[in-house]
Structure 1
């Protein structure tokens, strides 16, 4: 009986296998394609197909259609093959993927759309691909990513968008990619990344942005990537990396090679503590200071840089030795150390001939005392250079600083990247003043007594990135003054006599990122939309002008992040001028004559504001709602040196890292109890002193005991703690805000003497441009 059952079981299994085999052989297969029934694959490569074959078997798992002529993927194009896991549509002349084209492919894990002609990624192009893990869109013509294009790709691990035509990545462009590990955006034309471009990519560990046109490190954008460990930014035209540029807590590998870096702040990587490998090869770095921040750095690549091994390199060599950092690269000079590996150079050999010797002096090959070549020197290679100027072929720098020139010298090497003409007497810059300087990245024209710049003066300077025109005599600018310099990103016009904001001249600078207009004579900011001509402007410095008024919407800007209006003549917070500045993070209003800060003064920028400076304004009162809307996002608040007796409730500002309340005559009485309670509950140091009553003047608010008899405050709306020691002495717009209920204050003119603005010039480092971080705090 048992053997009979075994026999029937074996027969049943055999018939089942036979049936399956017969089914496979009889399955549908397009005539021009080859099919494998055991692997469930269909291959239709290079058959000049214009449509998806209709006779592909429904149970097919892998479909290869590369090298055909499909052109358009219509809605529901793969409705007959719902079980596909792999789909190859490479080189099919596809120019459009219609909404819902892949809607039935819920099992697809791999999709290759490379080498097609797709130019726009539409909102629902990839709907239905809920299981997709790998998407190849490289070598297309993508120039626009519409919002929501990737929202259905929650399981995607890798997205390749290399070799496309992207110029800009908008906010939330990759929304929905919650599990993506590697995003490849290299070989595009990116010159701008929106601050929230990568928001939501919480799992991203690797980002490729090499071979683009980024001219500055996108610090704000990168801070949204908490898990990135590997970042490739090589082959971008960056010339400078400023303080705290790289703020990425888990970054271990950073590639900044083959760029145009001339300078690197020692604090540039201070917020990348886990960095272990840094590639700075093939830049224009002549020396480097020890890097603060990275504690795990194992390798620093300086190959291909014109590193001059003198005393300026000694601190780096000592630091590398102590930290076990391997230095890759070799010395470019002096002759006795030329081609010597940096790792093998002994710190004692890194020395300068004299204490006051500059980097430029180190490149001179002649003995300053005899004028004859030093015995160990090699003959200096001849380089094209104008009379009464100095040019260095290795660093590609040229200088005519302080040589008494009255006209811009001609005849610089076409490879020159930094041109220093400061401290001459040009007065007037005519059209085409700088022929043959198309490779110049940084141009110094400070202290040249320039009072007129003719339209087209900078024609041909297509790579100009930094322009220093500070401390000249400019009163206005020709609308075409900067024509021919489309990449200009950092513009210094401080220390001139400009009487109005040079909006028309800036309209020709689409890449302008930082604008310095300190110490001019600008009195008004108008009309509405003043910054619309500079849509990418990120930092605007207007310190030490004579600004008394700002038009409504004058400072509206979708990109502006830093605004300095300190040391002007404003009498009120310019709330109306900032009605549409959604990304403003820092505003400095110190040393204006703003006596009163009313309710909702910062409401339009409350969601983005991180740093607020209001020092030495003679401020006598802040409305209880003056800081309404500001919350955990605010990191710094300073109101030092004012006339404040009370402060609004600071308890909503839970993210404060810096707060300065010093030098205010605070009324240490019950109305200040809320501040005292707040000070006791925060971890940061808060220095505030009592100004009243007289018997405790000068004592710290935290130390006095006058608050012990005050009733506790249960909520912000509690108004029972009201008795003030003195009546207000300033004009208020609303009597309902007075400290003493029922007492009507008599408006009086403020009598406080204005503080005289102090002039501060931005610091610049000889031999290369360098931004300086605001030191207001």
Structure 2
């Protein structure tokens, strides 16, 4: 008897049969989810990676095992992994080639292991990696070239290790790094070129180290850093021009040993808006020269003596509208008076005798407070199953299984960490009594709905992390009550539309993360200029965007725009027409095969970094980069199908160039590129794919160009547009070559298909011969 199945039933049957939850597919002692393609083998005392994990697994969790060593090829049977968790596995050694088949992994967690050295080939193969967690290991050495394969890495965590020194070019290859975390090490020295090549770095954490002096020369290389944390380092003094970082907006120098600060120490940081000098030894401070955008100066916990020497600072803060945090430590009649509220007329110097008397009284108070009979500090009020630190003004309930937002945190709490709980739903007024909170973490809380007014009363909220939840939409009033919100993280949700209506209540929004959602279109309604007038950075990576409408990106301030890993098929030139301030544009991993003339003309005066890797690009017009000149610092077109390139000679300011993995046709039409390579000091890797006899050789080295006429006709003369499969191509007359065997062969017949294949990659030496490394 024949059985008949409907198409839907057949799909379900095939899915069930191929599910990794089958007994034969799921490793013993592990749990598998066939729907989500995840395998978890947590705390099973495993000594090796299970060899029977299903090939189609996307997420593999091996936490709390005893792997000790990761051998070469440990993950060859799971090539589709995107997330790999190897926390607390007693790993000591990561062998060369361990991850070589994991080209799709975006998150790798190796925290809480026993790794002591990062070798040159440790992370080879992780070409798509976005996050790498190496915190809480024993790392004391980073070998040259350890990170050269991690060109898409956004965040690198190296906190709680044993690093003492960072050598030159230690992080070479991190072309897209945004946040580098080096907190809680023993760093006492940084080489001048320690951070060379990190042109996209926005945030650097160096707190809790042993730096005794501000590493001025090292930091000068970091032109894009906006946030720098140097707190908890034993520095005692900052001299003139110590900080020269043009885009720095937030600087943390708290809990150090600063006794003095030159009024010109920050003269090279004109954009600085928030300066934290709390808990140092500063008795008084001169008005700061340089930072024209300063809005907040934190002097809490300093022995600020409010006499005539403090008056200039108080008057300067009043005129500049700088908010002063902290209180007077003396004289007695002004003790505990807030610096922001003290009347400048009261800041006067008294006679020498009275001043000495005040000093003696303060010394007596210090002595009394140090006596063993002093009363112990009162117990800090804190919700059940949470931890609160009154001194640090932090509170955390991370991963405690809460289903409702706990209530009753200390009123002075500034950082509230509630990540990895199970809230599902945030009702109105969820954070009563949290009016001082500056940073709120709600990642991985399974939130699928936020009621209007959920953040009501959070007037000082500056950072909100809602990453990796289940949001499909946002109510217009979702962020009501948090007008100062500046950094909003919504990546890793299921949003299908740009949440424009919900952003109208956020006039201060500066950075918006919407990566890894399901947004398919970017429309003019409810975007940027009318909704978020101050938006500077917009991240839309890994959505399903097929088009960006004209006017959708209108903004006078937008500086960073990431549209990579979407489904665009043509350049969004028209959409950029009113976004004339864009400095960084990423279009990599879209399907844009043709880049026409004047593609970047709307942003030609501002663009500094342009990324167009892995797009299947077959052709670039000779005028594709028209208008771009010395201002462009980075250009990458790696992994496309380009046989020719436009003239790059106008781009005299380039510091990063990546032309690798393109099937370049080395004939006289490529002569301008050859001449450009010869006339620059940068190392540019450009490989010939055709003609076959010189395949694999560098453009710089081949001799075919010696036969080219000195005056080659401009490639774009007498262009002929040829329609081919709906794709317009430009066919150009080739300059005549001398009759070499290669040219004769090409004239007789077309090249075989084999000649079109990409040349095999050659290993790149880890020894940088130039101060500017070009991939």
- Provide the TM-score with structure 2 as the length reference: 0.48
Rg larger for:
1
- Provide the TM-score with structure 1 as the length reference: 0.48
